[in-house]
Structure 1
């Protein structure tokens, strides 16, 4: 299985299969949203689009990066979202990196969104689909975020049935990343003290997350 690791800005062609990785925190949050009962997640291109969708659908739950803001129901924090009741709800998510990366590959035949919490389920789905070539979109820090690259490399090795892919070294890299340090030090607003630990829970959830265009919107759904 051929694997490429690119930042969002480096994408120059539509891949046949894409895994968009945002460990801290967009797709860890997305996985928690599904675990808390969300039916689907709409990935918004801008804050204005997220607010417009919320206005059109008041029953939807809108979340964003950073501190709480008028019009939004939640922030992009797994620690703050894990107690939410999202049964049957639609979530609108807009983040700085993760949602941007997913929208950049929206025309790909297969788009998966991932973090460590769904790593094995993501690798299993890639194997099941028989993907010969996969582009891993490293969303954080313009493609240089080590937590995202570590997760992408781990999933790639698991997807290739590499028995030597020991998770510990990849999790250590993620835990020592700039994003982890900033979250631990409280530099980033809209965070919870447990966010880093929750983002590093390997295979917490048994589903992958597949994104596809539905009625002109990029929609993320769990895939067991």
Structure 2
């Protein structure tokens, strides 16, 4: 597989297939939202749009980065979201990097949003679709976020011929600037378990596919096909 790893600003044209990676924490949170029963996630372009959507649909659940704010129901933390019942609900998510990256490639024929928690399911979908050229969007730190690059390279390897083990990639992510900032409380809206939850490999058995629905970019879970090869890393049950 021909894999490219680009920051958001480096996207000069719309790729055919894009995997948008945000490990800490947008797409780890998105996966947890689906695990907690969410039907779909609307990726908002701005905080104002998220609030406007919430105003039009009061039963929707609005999520943002940082500390709690009026109009929003939750913050972008997997540790805080994992106890929230989202059964059948629509979530509106706006984050600093992840949602921005997904919207930047909305014209692609296939857009996947990914983190370690859905890595193998994402790789399986790429293999099943026969994707031979994939652009991985490294969303954090203007394309330099080590946790996102490590996850992207791991998924690329799993989707290709190498089938690497996860340990070295997780080590890189655990030593990243984002992990340190979350652990040290530099970022707001954080749960003490956030870093550990972001470093769970294959916690969930689905990929996440984003498509345009009525002008909005909507993320939905996609059940992964049966694995084509064994996965030797330990993974928490979904």
Check whether TM > 0.5.
yes
The equivalences for 1:98-137 within 5 A come to 98-137=98-137
Q: 2:50 maps to which residue?
A: 50
Q: 2:168 maps to which residue?
A: 169
Q: Distance in 2 between matches of 1:88 and 1:107?
A: 27
The equivalences for 1:31-180 within 5 A come to 31-163=31-163, 165-180=164-179
Cα deviation, 1:151-204, whole Å, max 9, x if unaligned, reads: 0000000000313x1210000000000000000001100000000000000000
Instruction: Tell me the CA shift for residue 36 of structure 1.
Output: 0.0
SS of 2:15's partner is coil
Give unmatched runs, 5+ long, in structure 2: 224-238
Q: Distance in 2 between matches of 1:138 and 1:23?
A: 10
Cα deviation, 1:111-138, whole Å, max 9, x if unaligned, reads: 0000000000000000000001000000
SS of 1:152's partner is helix
TM-score of the superposition, structure 2-length normalised? 0.93
Q: Distance in 2 between matches of 1:198 and 1:175?
A: 11
TM-score of the superposition, structure 1-length normalised? 0.99
Cα deviation, 1:43-63, whole Å, max 9, x if unaligned, reads: 000000000000000000000
Aligned residues: 223
Q: After TM superposition, what 4+ stretches of structure 1 lie above 6 angstroms from structure 2?
A: none
Q: Distance in 2 between matches of 1:50 and 1:180?
A: 27
The answer to whether the aligner puts 1:7 opposite 2:10 as a matched pair is no
Q: 1:194 maps to which residue?
A: 193
Q: Distance in 1 between matches of 2:107 and 2:214?
A: 14
Q: 1:217 maps to which residue?
A: 216
Q: Distance in 2 between matches of 1:28 and 1:151?
A: 12
Give unmatched runs, 5+ long, in structure 1: none
Q: Distance in 2 between matches of 1:121 and 1:86?
A: 22
